[in-house]
Amino acid sequence: MITEDDEFERLEREIKYKLDSTRSTVVADDYYWIPIDQDTPKYMKVLLLGRSGVATMGHFENTPGTQFWTHWAPLPRKRP
């Protein structure tokens, strides 16, 4: 019988990513969030991370007086 732990280990081997400490999220060891700064792309589709830790896809706009987004990341690409 395959246990939940066996399935988690299989996932880690097959997709070459790790699970977080709660074993509920797949994480990459080579891909990180980038802090929002003056070089953050504006008005282009990116992944955005809010202060509450929730990520979304959207367009970053540097609106004065708002600091909800803390980090961004480029979208992943499919391999050719």
Question: Residue 43: which region, alpha, beta or left (left: phi > 0; alpha: psi -120 to 50)?
Answer: left
Residues 77, 51: one domain?
A: yes
Residues 51, 75: one domain?
A: yes
The total number of residues written for the chain in this structure: 80
Residues 70, 36: one domain?
A: yes
Confidence of residue 30 (pLDDT cuts 50, 70, 90): confident
Residues 20, 41: one domain?
A: no
Residues 77, 50: one domain?
A: yes
Domain range enclosing 46: 31-80
Residues 35, 74: one domain?
A: yes
CA angle (26 as vertex; 50, 13 as ends), nearest 5: 160
pLDDT at 16 over 70: no
pLDDT 10s digits, 34-70: 999 989 999 999 999 999 999 999 999 877 777 899 9
Residues 11, 44: one domain?
A: no
What's the distance, Cα to Cα, between the start and end of the chain in Å?
A: 37
Residues 43, 24: one domain?
A: no
Residues 72, 47: one domain?
A: yes
Question: What is d(CA 42, CA 51) in angstroms, rounded to the nearest whole number?
Answer: 18
What is the tally of structural domains in the chain?
Answer: 2
Determine which of 1-5, 66-70, 71-75 has the lowest per-residue pLDDT on average: 1-5
How much is the pLDDT for 53? 92
